[in-house]
Structure 1
Amino acid sequence: MERKSNDIEIIKLQVVSNYKVISMNIEGISHEESMIFPNGDANCMNWILGHLIYIRNAFLNILGEESVWDAEKFSCYNRGEIPLNRKDEFIDFEDLKSYLNKTQEKLEKKIDALEKINPENIDDIATLCLHEIYHSGQFGYLRRILGKPGVIK
Protein backbone atom coordinates (compact mmCIF):
# COMPACT_ATOMS: atom_id res chain seq x y z
CA MET A 1 0.00 0.00 0.00
CA GLU A 2 1.38 3.38 -1.00
CA ARG A 3 1.65 5.87 1.83
CA LYS A 4 0.25 9.36 1.48
CA SER A 5 2.46 12.39 1.89
CA ASN A 6 3.41 13.19 5.48
CA ASP A 7 1.10 16.21 5.75
CA ILE A 8 -1.95 14.14 4.79
CA GLU A 9 -0.92 11.34 7.17
CA ILE A 10 -0.51 13.84 10.03
CA ILE A 11 -3.91 15.41 9.39
CA LYS A 12 -5.59 11.99 9.18
CA LEU A 13 -3.99 10.91 12.47
CA GLN A 14 -5.16 14.15 14.15
CA VAL A 15 -8.73 13.74 12.89
CA VAL A 16 -8.93 10.06 13.91
CA SER A 17 -7.25 10.55 17.31
CA ASN A 18 -9.38 13.59 18.20
CA TYR A 19 -12.53 11.70 17.30
CA LYS A 20 -11.53 8.79 19.57
CA VAL A 21 -10.80 11.11 22.51
CA ILE A 22 -14.06 13.02 22.01
CA SER A 23 -16.12 9.84 21.61
CA MET A 24 -14.66 8.24 24.74
CA ASN A 25 -15.27 11.35 26.82
CA ILE A 26 -18.88 11.91 25.72
CA GLU A 27 -19.83 8.25 26.13
CA GLY A 28 -22.53 7.74 28.76
CA ILE A 29 -23.37 11.45 29.08
CA SER A 30 -27.11 12.16 29.04
CA HIS A 31 -28.64 15.19 27.37
CA GLU A 32 -29.42 16.64 30.81
CA GLU A 33 -25.80 16.21 31.90
CA SER A 34 -24.59 17.76 28.65
CA MET A 35 -26.56 20.90 29.49
CA ILE A 36 -24.87 21.53 32.86
CA PHE A 37 -22.80 24.74 32.90
CA PRO A 38 -20.08 24.23 35.55
CA ASN A 39 -19.80 27.19 37.94
CA GLY A 40 -22.98 28.47 36.32
CA ASP A 41 -21.18 29.84 33.27
CA ALA A 42 -18.37 27.59 32.00
CA ASN A 43 -19.24 26.01 28.67
CA CYS A 44 -21.35 22.87 28.89
CA MET A 45 -20.61 19.65 26.98
CA ASN A 46 -23.53 20.24 24.64
CA TRP A 47 -22.16 23.58 23.47
CA ILE A 48 -18.58 22.33 23.14
CA LEU A 49 -19.65 19.35 21.03
CA GLY A 50 -21.91 21.50 18.88
CA HIS A 51 -19.10 24.03 18.54
CA LEU A 52 -16.65 21.33 17.42
CA ILE A 53 -19.14 20.15 14.79
CA TYR A 54 -19.69 23.74 13.68
CA ILE A 55 -15.94 24.19 13.19
CA ARG A 56 -15.54 20.73 11.61
CA ASN A 57 -17.96 21.94 8.94
CA ALA A 58 -15.51 24.76 8.16
CA PHE A 59 -12.78 22.10 7.94
CA LEU A 60 -14.93 20.10 5.49
CA ASN A 61 -15.55 23.25 3.44
CA ILE A 62 -11.79 24.00 3.24
CA LEU A 63 -11.30 20.48 1.87
CA GLY A 64 -14.06 21.08 -0.70
CA GLU A 65 -16.80 19.11 1.06
CA GLU A 66 -20.33 20.09 2.05
CA SER A 67 -21.20 20.82 5.68
CA VAL A 68 -23.29 18.32 7.64
CA TRP A 69 -25.65 21.06 8.82
CA ASP A 70 -26.85 24.57 8.01
CA ALA A 71 -24.55 27.08 9.74
CA GLU A 72 -27.33 29.64 10.17
CA LYS A 73 -29.69 27.16 11.84
CA PHE A 74 -26.98 26.07 14.27
CA SER A 75 -25.38 29.49 14.82
CA CYS A 76 -25.80 29.09 18.60
CA TYR A 77 -22.70 26.87 18.43
CA ASN A 78 -20.57 29.39 16.55
CA ARG A 79 -17.39 30.93 17.90
CA GLY A 80 -18.03 34.12 19.83
CA GLU A 81 -21.55 33.18 20.89
CA ILE A 82 -22.42 33.25 24.59
CA PRO A 83 -23.68 29.68 25.13
CA LEU A 84 -25.62 30.47 28.31
CA ASN A 85 -27.67 33.06 26.42
CA ARG A 86 -28.57 30.61 23.64
CA LYS A 87 -29.00 27.33 25.53
CA ASP A 88 -32.67 27.08 24.56
CA GLU A 89 -31.51 26.59 20.96
CA PHE A 90 -29.22 23.64 21.72
CA ILE A 91 -30.24 20.32 20.20
CA ASP A 92 -30.39 16.90 21.82
CA PHE A 93 -26.98 15.50 22.75
CA GLU A 94 -27.64 12.21 20.91
CA ASP A 95 -28.38 14.22 17.75
CA LEU A 96 -25.09 16.06 18.22
CA LYS A 97 -23.28 12.71 18.49
CA SER A 98 -24.89 11.69 15.21
CA TYR A 99 -23.68 14.90 13.54
CA LEU A 100 -20.19 14.27 14.95
CA ASN A 101 -20.20 10.80 13.38
CA LYS A 102 -21.26 12.30 10.03
CA THR A 103 -18.42 14.82 10.12
CA GLN A 104 -15.98 12.03 10.93
CA GLU A 105 -17.12 9.86 8.04
CA LYS A 106 -16.92 12.77 5.61
CA LEU A 107 -13.53 13.99 6.89
CA GLU A 108 -11.93 10.55 6.74
CA LYS A 109 -13.33 9.84 3.29
CA LYS A 110 -12.17 13.20 1.95
CA ILE A 111 -8.71 12.98 3.56
CA ASP A 112 -8.28 9.44 2.18
CA ALA A 113 -9.07 10.75 -1.31
CA LEU A 114 -6.63 13.67 -1.13
CA GLU A 115 -3.61 13.62 -3.41
CA LYS A 116 -2.08 16.70 -1.80
CA ILE A 117 -2.91 19.54 0.56
CA ASN A 118 -3.31 22.94 -1.04
CA PRO A 119 -0.42 24.98 0.47
CA GLU A 120 -2.68 27.98 1.08
CA ASN A 121 -4.87 25.79 3.35
CA ILE A 122 -2.06 24.48 5.60
CA ASP A 123 -2.35 27.24 8.22
CA ASP A 124 -6.14 26.90 8.44
CA ILE A 125 -6.01 23.11 8.69
CA ALA A 126 -3.30 23.20 11.37
CA THR A 127 -5.31 25.77 13.34
CA LEU A 128 -8.51 23.70 13.04
CA CYS A 129 -6.68 20.61 14.34
CA LEU A 130 -5.27 22.60 17.27
CA HIS A 131 -8.74 24.02 17.98
CA GLU A 132 -10.19 20.52 18.15
CA ILE A 133 -7.41 19.25 20.43
CA TYR A 134 -8.00 22.21 22.76
CA HIS A 135 -11.72 21.58 23.11
CA SER A 136 -11.54 17.78 23.13
CA GLY A 137 -9.43 17.97 26.30
CA GLN A 138 -12.16 19.98 27.99
CA PHE A 139 -14.50 17.00 27.79
CA GLY A 140 -12.20 15.06 30.13
CA TYR A 141 -12.56 17.68 32.85
CA LEU A 142 -16.28 18.08 32.27
CA ARG A 143 -16.75 14.30 32.66
CA ARG A 144 -15.13 14.43 36.08
CA ILE A 145 -17.08 17.51 37.11
CA LEU A 146 -20.23 15.50 36.26
CA GLY A 147 -19.01 12.74 38.59
CA LYS A 148 -18.04 10.30 35.85
CA PRO A 149 -14.77 8.38 35.84
CA GLY A 150 -12.02 9.53 33.50
CA VAL A 151 -11.68 7.47 30.34
CA ILE A 152 -8.22 8.39 29.11
CA LYS A 153 -5.75 6.30 31.09
Structure 2
Amino acid sequence: MKTQSNDIELIKNQVESTYYVITLNIDGITHEESMIFPNGEANCMNWILGHLIYIRNAFLNILDEESVWDREKFSCYNRDEIPLNRKDELISFEELKSYLKQSQDKLITKLSSLESFDSEKIKDISTLSLHEIYHSGQLGYLRRILGKPGAIK
Protein backbone atom coordinates (compact mmCIF):
# COMPACT_ATOMS: atom_id res chain seq x y z
CA MET A 1 0.00 0.00 0.00
CA LYS A 2 1.29 3.42 -1.01
CA THR A 3 1.62 5.99 1.76
CA GLN A 4 1.08 9.60 0.77
CA SER A 5 2.76 12.52 2.44
CA ASN A 6 0.62 14.88 4.49
CA ASP A 7 1.11 17.68 1.96
CA ILE A 8 -0.53 15.58 -0.76
CA GLU A 9 -3.44 14.70 1.53
CA LEU A 10 -3.85 18.38 2.38
CA ILE A 11 -3.89 19.50 -1.26
CA LYS A 12 -6.16 16.62 -2.25
CA ASN A 13 -8.62 17.65 0.47
CA GLN A 14 -8.49 21.26 -0.71
CA VAL A 15 -9.09 20.23 -4.33
CA GLU A 16 -12.07 18.09 -3.27
CA SER A 17 -13.46 20.80 -0.98
CA THR A 18 -13.18 23.63 -3.48
CA TYR A 19 -14.72 21.45 -6.19
CA TYR A 20 -17.66 20.84 -3.86
CA VAL A 21 -18.03 24.59 -3.17
CA ILE A 22 -17.72 25.44 -6.87
CA THR A 23 -20.35 22.89 -7.91
CA LEU A 24 -22.78 24.10 -5.24
CA ASN A 25 -22.30 27.72 -6.30
CA ILE A 26 -22.80 27.06 -10.02
CA ASP A 27 -25.76 24.72 -9.59
CA GLY A 28 -28.90 25.99 -11.29
CA ILE A 29 -27.12 28.83 -13.10
CA THR A 30 -28.07 29.13 -16.76
CA HIS A 31 -25.65 30.12 -19.49
CA GLU A 32 -27.43 33.46 -19.82
CA GLU A 33 -27.07 34.12 -16.09
CA SER A 34 -23.40 33.09 -16.22
CA MET A 35 -22.80 35.83 -18.81
CA ILE A 36 -24.07 38.70 -16.64
CA PHE A 37 -21.33 41.20 -15.78
CA PRO A 38 -22.32 42.79 -12.46
CA ASN A 39 -22.18 46.59 -12.58
CA GLY A 40 -21.48 46.20 -16.30
CA GLU A 41 -17.82 45.48 -15.62
CA ALA A 42 -17.16 42.91 -12.87
CA ASN A 43 -16.16 39.45 -14.05
CA CYS A 44 -19.10 37.23 -14.94
CA MET A 45 -19.58 33.74 -13.52
CA ASN A 46 -18.74 32.19 -16.89
CA TRP A 47 -15.31 33.83 -16.95
CA ILE A 48 -14.52 32.98 -13.33
CA LEU A 49 -15.37 29.30 -13.87
CA GLY A 50 -13.40 29.22 -17.12
CA HIS A 51 -10.51 30.96 -15.41
CA LEU A 52 -10.54 28.36 -12.63
CA ILE A 53 -10.30 25.62 -15.27
CA TYR A 54 -7.59 27.51 -17.14
CA ILE A 55 -5.47 27.66 -13.99
CA ARG A 56 -6.36 24.07 -13.05
CA ASN A 57 -4.67 23.12 -16.31
CA ALA A 58 -1.49 24.81 -15.07
CA PHE A 59 -1.91 22.83 -11.84
CA LEU A 60 -2.18 19.62 -13.87
CA ASN A 61 0.89 20.57 -15.89
CA ILE A 62 2.92 21.18 -12.70
CA LEU A 63 1.98 17.63 -11.69
CA ASP A 64 3.21 16.40 -15.11
CA GLU A 65 -0.33 15.76 -16.33
CA GLU A 66 -1.99 16.87 -19.59
CA SER A 67 -4.39 19.82 -19.67
CA VAL A 68 -8.08 19.28 -20.34
CA TRP A 69 -8.08 21.96 -23.03
CA ASP A 70 -5.81 23.92 -25.35
CA ARG A 71 -4.37 27.07 -23.73
CA GLU A 72 -4.45 29.13 -26.91
CA LYS A 73 -8.02 28.23 -27.86
CA PHE A 74 -9.26 29.20 -24.40
CA SER A 75 -6.89 32.14 -23.80
CA CYS A 76 -9.90 34.39 -23.11
CA TYR A 77 -9.98 32.78 -19.64
CA ASN A 78 -6.35 33.58 -18.84
CA ARG A 79 -5.27 35.90 -16.06
CA ASP A 80 -5.14 39.59 -17.00
CA GLU A 81 -7.65 39.15 -19.82
CA ILE A 82 -10.60 41.54 -19.82
CA PRO A 83 -13.62 39.22 -20.11
CA LEU A 84 -15.98 41.99 -21.20
CA ASN A 85 -13.74 42.61 -24.24
CA ARG A 86 -13.71 38.91 -25.12
CA LYS A 87 -17.25 37.90 -24.14
CA ASP A 88 -17.98 36.54 -27.64
CA GLU A 89 -15.25 33.94 -27.10
CA LEU A 90 -16.64 32.59 -23.81
CA ILE A 91 -18.07 29.09 -24.22
CA SER A 92 -21.33 27.64 -22.93
CA PHE A 93 -21.65 27.24 -19.18
CA GLU A 94 -22.59 23.58 -19.59
CA GLU A 95 -19.40 22.94 -21.56
CA LEU A 96 -17.41 24.67 -18.82
CA LYS A 97 -19.03 22.38 -16.23
CA SER A 98 -17.90 19.40 -18.30
CA TYR A 99 -14.31 20.69 -18.40
CA LEU A 100 -14.45 21.32 -14.64
CA LYS A 101 -15.45 17.69 -14.04
CA GLN A 102 -12.68 16.46 -16.36
CA SER A 103 -10.10 18.59 -14.53
CA GLN A 104 -11.36 17.33 -11.16
CA ASP A 105 -11.12 13.70 -12.22
CA LYS A 106 -7.60 14.19 -13.58
CA LEU A 107 -6.42 16.09 -10.49
CA ILE A 108 -7.76 13.53 -8.03
CA THR A 109 -6.40 10.62 -10.05
CA LYS A 110 -2.97 12.25 -10.27
CA LEU A 111 -2.88 13.30 -6.62
CA SER A 112 -3.93 9.80 -5.58
CA SER A 113 -1.04 8.30 -7.52
CA LEU A 114 1.67 10.44 -5.94
CA GLU A 115 3.72 9.63 -2.86
CA SER A 116 5.21 13.10 -2.51
CA PHE A 117 5.54 16.43 -4.28
CA ASP A 118 8.71 17.61 -5.93
CA SER A 119 10.07 20.13 -3.41
CA GLU A 120 10.53 22.79 -6.10
CA LYS A 121 6.81 22.62 -6.88
CA ILE A 122 5.39 23.03 -3.36
CA LYS A 123 5.11 26.83 -3.53
CA ASP A 124 3.33 26.74 -6.91
CA ILE A 125 0.98 23.99 -5.76
CA SER A 126 0.00 25.83 -2.59
CA THR A 127 -0.51 29.08 -4.53
CA LEU A 128 -2.74 27.33 -7.06
CA SER A 129 -4.76 25.82 -4.23
CA LEU A 130 -5.24 29.28 -2.70
CA HIS A 131 -6.30 30.55 -6.14
CA GLU A 132 -9.13 28.00 -6.22
CA ILE A 133 -10.31 28.96 -2.76
CA TYR A 134 -10.36 32.64 -3.69
CA HIS A 135 -12.38 32.21 -6.87
CA SER A 136 -14.77 29.61 -5.46
CA GLY A 137 -15.82 32.25 -2.93
CA GLN A 138 -16.36 34.78 -5.73
CA LEU A 139 -18.79 32.35 -7.35
CA GLY A 140 -20.79 32.36 -4.11
CA TYR A 141 -21.13 36.13 -4.17
CA LEU A 142 -22.03 36.14 -7.86
CA ARG A 143 -24.71 33.55 -7.16
CA ARG A 144 -26.30 35.94 -4.66
CA ILE A 145 -25.95 38.90 -7.03
CA LEU A 146 -27.88 36.84 -9.61
CA GLY A 147 -30.72 36.55 -7.10
CA LYS A 148 -30.14 32.89 -6.23
CA PRO A 149 -30.16 31.63 -2.65
CA GLY A 150 -26.80 31.00 -1.06
CA ALA A 151 -25.57 27.49 -1.73
CA ILE A 152 -23.35 27.10 1.32
CA LYS A 153 -25.44 26.60 4.42
Specify if TM > 0.5. Answer: yes
Counting aligned pairs with the same residue, the percent is 75
Q: Are residue 102 (structure 1) and residue 102 (structure 2) matched? A: yes
Give the length in aligned residue pairs. Answer: 153
RMSD (CA atoms): 0.9
Query: Match of 1:127, SS?
Result: helix
CA-to-aligned-CA distance 1:6-57 (integer Å, 9 cap, x gap): 0000010010000000000000000000000000000000000000000000
**Residue 40 of structure 2: aligned partner:** 40
Query: What CA distance in whole angstroms lies between the structure 2 residues aligned with 1:49 and 1:118?
Result: 28
Give the gaps of 5 or more residues in structure 1: none
Aligned equivalents of 1:145 and 1:115: distance in 2?
A: 42
Give TM-score, length-normalised by structure 2: 0.98
2: CA distance, partners of 1:12 / 1:115: 12
Task: Give how far 1:3 is off.
Answer: 4.7
Displaced runs of 4 or more, over 3 A: none
Tell me how far apart the structure 2 counterparts of residues 3 and 71 of structure 1 sit (CA, whole Å). 34
1:92 alignment partner in structure 2: 92
Deviation at 1:2, TM superposition (A): 6.0
**Residues in 1 aligned to 2:129 and 2:2: alpha-carbon distance in whole angstroms:** 24
TM-score between the two structures when normalised by the length of structure 1:
0.98
Give, in angstroms, the shift of residue 5 of structure 1. Answer: 1.1
Q: Are positions 1:26 and 2:26 aligned together? A: yes
